[in-house]
Amino acid sequence: METVEKLTKTLRSHGMKITPQRLMIFKILENNTSHPSAEDVYKKVKKIYPAVSFTTIYKTLETLKELGEVKELTIDEDRKHYDPNTNIHHHVICSACKKILDIFEDFSSHIQLPDFVNKDYTVTGFQISFYGTCKKCN
Q: Identify the CATH class of 90-132.
A: alpha beta
Domain boundaries, the chain: 4-83, 90-132
**Position 2 confidence tier, pLDDT thresholds 50, 70, 90:** low
Q: What burial letters (b/e) apply to 3-32, b meaning 16+ CB within 10 Å? A: eeeebbeebeeeeeeeeebbebbbebbeeb
- C-alpha pair distances (Å), 91 with each of 61, 62, 71, 115: 20, 21, 12, 26
Report pLDDT for 1: 61
Averaged pLDDT, 23-52: 94
More reliable by pLDDT, 7 or 137: 137
4-83 CATH fold: Arc Repressor Mutant, subunit A (1.10.10)
pTM over cut 0.95: no
Fold agreement (4-83, 90-132): no
Q: Is it the case that residue 77 has pLDDT exceeding 80?
A: no
Q: What is the mean pLDDT of the chain?
A: 90
Q: How confident is the model at residue 82 (pLDDT cuts 50, 70, 90)?
A: very high
pLDDT at 125: 81
Dist CA 82 CA 39 (whole Å):
11
- Stretch 31-50: mean pLDDT: 95
**Tens digits of residue pLDDT in 117-132:** 989 999 888 888 999 9
Would you state the torsion angle of the CA atoms of residues 69, 72, 73, 76, taken in this order, to the nearest 10 degrees? 150
Q: 19 CB contacts (<8 Å, ≥6 apart)?
A: none
Cα separations in angstroms, 38 against 60, 85, 107: 10, 16, 29
Alpha carbon distance 68, 84 (integer Å): 9
